[in-house]
Each structure stands twice: as C-alpha cells, then as structure tokens.
C-alpha cells in the first residue's frame, strides 16, 4: 500500500504538464495500476469503460453509479505512489451545482486530476448546449479552487464519440470556451492522426491530451513532436487483456484445446511481483 501523500502527487502532476510529453496509461483495478507504476509510468488515469467492463456492465453513468466509480478511483489512487487522474465521466449530474458537489467527492479520493465530459448520455441530444457545458466546467473549476488542493481539471469535448457532423471544428470551439472557463487540460477523444498537429496548435498554449486507442503507426515521440503534452490509452489496455482472455476461452469452447495459454506470463512471476509489494 502506498503512502497517500496526495499533495505532493498533485504538485508532480501539474509539473508534468508544463513541458514535454508523457503517457498516462489507464489501469482498471489496483493490480493493473501497480504493474503500470512498476514499469515506470509517471502518472496514471482511471478508465470508466475498463472499470465498467470489469463489472460486467456497459460504460456510462446510467450503468455505473457515482459511488461505485468513486470507489474504483479511490482504490486505484491508494494503490500507487504516482499521481492519478480520474475519468469522472460527465460529473454524474446535469446541473452545475451538483457537478460541483460531485467534483468535491472526487477530489476526496486523492486524485491529482479529474476530467469532465460534455456528453449528456441522451442519444437524441448527445452534447450539452454550449452555454450549459461552459457553466458545468466553471462549477468544477470553482469546486477545485475552493478545495485548495491544486487538482488539475481536464475538459473533454465528446464530439467525435457522439458522431457530430463537424467534430474537429466543434471540438476546438468547445474546448476554447472550456479553457476560458478554467480548464487546465483539453481533450477530445477521437481526433484523427492527420489532425493532431493542427488541433494542438488551435488550442495553444493549453496542454492537450491525445487518445491513442489503437495502433495507428505513431510512437510517443511522434505525438510529442506534434505538440501534445499528454497521451492516454482509454480502455485499450483492458481490451487487450480481454482479447487474450476471449481468444483462449473460445479455443477451449470451440476446439477443445488450450493453445490460447501459450506464451502467457507464468503464475510464479505474477505471484512474485505482488508478493514483493506486500
């Protein structure tokens, strides 16, 4: 178990965004978080989708309760010694006042940062109207400032994920307004490879997070050269683990063989890793 020096972690996290580019991978439980720290990553971020899938649920606030998500966030933040950013979805509320109250709950888990989306969860109207979306970011900002914790606020524009007809243009428009409302970091999951450099330039000087959810042929150094400050992977690590599990299980069910177990990490190695942490 880590020493929960959350104040120091928040200082470290803020400094990481001041220059260069770093990867903030997304564990879904304490075990995956501890292994990512072991590999030397300087910060981690929770994944709402990875956690939901691990519970046998779809991603989204309708399926995973606020308190369940806060429990997962706290569990991960307390399992490691590095800063943790919380994927806090849309703040578990529509109105700014309740968003602010929920942000205070999220801060109490020990996170160094948290993100707020502008996805309503309503397929007919998937994005909050911009004035309300801005007020929600202002409310989150106010809650963080009143806590005097230095937690970083990431604002997410969900235009690509909800199928907006002009996702690049609308994401930039929204994120510029969110920056004015007090967001420290800007993020639009789904930005395409050929758009990254222009996207970052449009939002300068604010730090921009880029999502790498699949192998599109870019390395960390390539994304860094495009000006991004931070790279996250969303649910990709969970989906990678699920891919191995599903393939091995399907081979047993359909072909009656165990070749899906080839090249797996030995039990002894995993057990030794966690034994050394006790």
Summarize the confidence of residues 249-277 as an average pLDDT: 97
User: What's the confidence (pLDDT) of residue 1?
Assistant: 45
The residues with which 116 forms a beta bridge, in sequence order, are: 155
Q: How confident is the model at residue 190 (pLDDT cuts 50, 70, 90)?
A: very high
Round to whole Å and give the CA distance between 171 and 20: 23
User: What's the confidence (pLDDT) of residue 65?
Assistant: 98
For residue 209, give the H/E element and its range: strand 208-211
Does the pLDDT value for residue 2 go beyond 90?
Answer: no
Does the pLDDT value for residue 188 go beyond 80?
Answer: yes
Q: How confident is the model at residue 12 (pLDDT cuts 50, 70, 90)?
A: very high
Contact call for residues 83 and 44 (beta carbons, < 8 A): yes
Residue spans of alpha helices (H) in the chain: 6-16, 30-38, 48-54, 66-77, 96-107, 130-147, 167-180, 196-203, 220-225, 236-255, 267-277
Strand pairing of 22-24 and 84-87? unpaired
User: What's the confidence (pLDDT) of residue 14?
Assistant: 98
User: What's the confidence (pLDDT) of residue 177?
Assistant: 98
Share above pLDDT 70 across residues of the chain, in percent, rounded to a whole number: 99
Round to whole Å and give the CA distance between 210 and 213: 10
User: What's the confidence (pLDDT) of residue 139?
Assistant: 98
Summarize the confidence of residues 157-180 as an average pLDDT: 98
pLDDT digits (tens, 9 = 90+) for 86-133: 999 999 999 999 999 999 999 999 999 999 999 999 999 999 999 999
Q: Where do the CATH 3.20.20.60 domains begin and end in the chain? A: 6-234
Return the C-alpha torsion angle 46, 47, 48, 51, nearest 10: -90
Is domain 6-234 in CATH 3.40.50.300, yes or no? Answer: no
User: What's the confidence (pLDDT) of residue 192?
Assistant: 96
List all residues 6 or more positions away from 246 whose beta carbon is below 8 Å from its beta carbon.
none
Tokens in use for 108? 């109490």
DSSP 113: E
List all residues 6 or more positions away from 72 whose beta carbon is below 8 Å from its beta carbon.
28, 29, 46, 51
Contact call for residues 70 and 105 (beta carbons, < 8 A): yes
CA atoms within 13 A on the CB side of 179: 17
pLDDT digits (tens, 9 = 90+) for 78-99: 999 999 999 999 999 999 999 9
Round to whole Å and give the CA distance between 54 and 71: 14
User: What's the confidence (pLDDT) of residue 155?
Assistant: 98
Strand pairing of 230-232 and 44-45? unpaired
Average pLDDT, the chain: 97
pLDDT digits (tens, 9 = 90+) for 17-49: 999 999 999 999 999 999 999 999 999 999 999
The pTM (predicted TM-score) of the whole model is 0.96
Summarize the confidence of residues 198-227 as an average pLDDT: 98
Q: How confident is the model at residue 3 (pLDDT cuts 50, 70, 90)?
A: low
Measured at the CA of 144, the angle between CA 58 and CA 91, to 5 degrees, comes to 20
Residue 267 Rama label (left phi>0; alpha psi -120 to 50; beta): alpha
């Amino acid at each position: 178990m880590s020493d929960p020096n959350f104040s120091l972690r928040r200082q470290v996290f803020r400094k990481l965004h001041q220059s260069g580019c770093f990867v903030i991978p997304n564990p879904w439980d304490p075990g995956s978080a501890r292994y990512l720290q072991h590999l030397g990553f300087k910060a981690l971020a929770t994944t709402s989708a990875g956690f939901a899938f691990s519970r046998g649920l779809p991603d989204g606030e309708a399926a995973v309760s606020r308190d369940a998500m806060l429990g997962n966030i706290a569990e991960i933040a307390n399992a490691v010694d590095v800063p943790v950013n919380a994927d806090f979805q849309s703040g578990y509320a529509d109105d700014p006042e309740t968003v602010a109250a929920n942000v205070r709950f999220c801060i109490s888990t020990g996170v160094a940062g948290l993100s707020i989306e502008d996805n309503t969860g309503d397929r007919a109207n998937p994005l909050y109207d911009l004035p309300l979306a801005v007020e929600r970011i202002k409310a989150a900002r106010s809650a963080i400032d009143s806590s005097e914790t230095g937690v970083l606020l990431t604002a997410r524009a969900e235009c690509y994920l909800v199928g907006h007809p002009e996702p690049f243009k609308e994401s930039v428009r929204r994120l510029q307004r969110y920056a004015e409302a007090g967001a420290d970091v800007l993020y639009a999951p789904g930005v395409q490879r050929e758009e990254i450099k222009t996207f970052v330039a449009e939002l300068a000087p604010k730090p921009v997070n880029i999502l790498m959810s699949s192998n599109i042929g870019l390395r960390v150094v390539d994304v860094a050269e495009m000006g991004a400050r931070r790279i996250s992977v969303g649910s990709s690590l969970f989906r990678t683990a699920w891919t191995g599990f599903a393939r091995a299980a399907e081979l047993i069910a359909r072909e009656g063989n165990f070749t899906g177990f080839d090249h797996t990490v030995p039990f002894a190695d995993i057990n030794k890793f966690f034994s050394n942490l006790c």
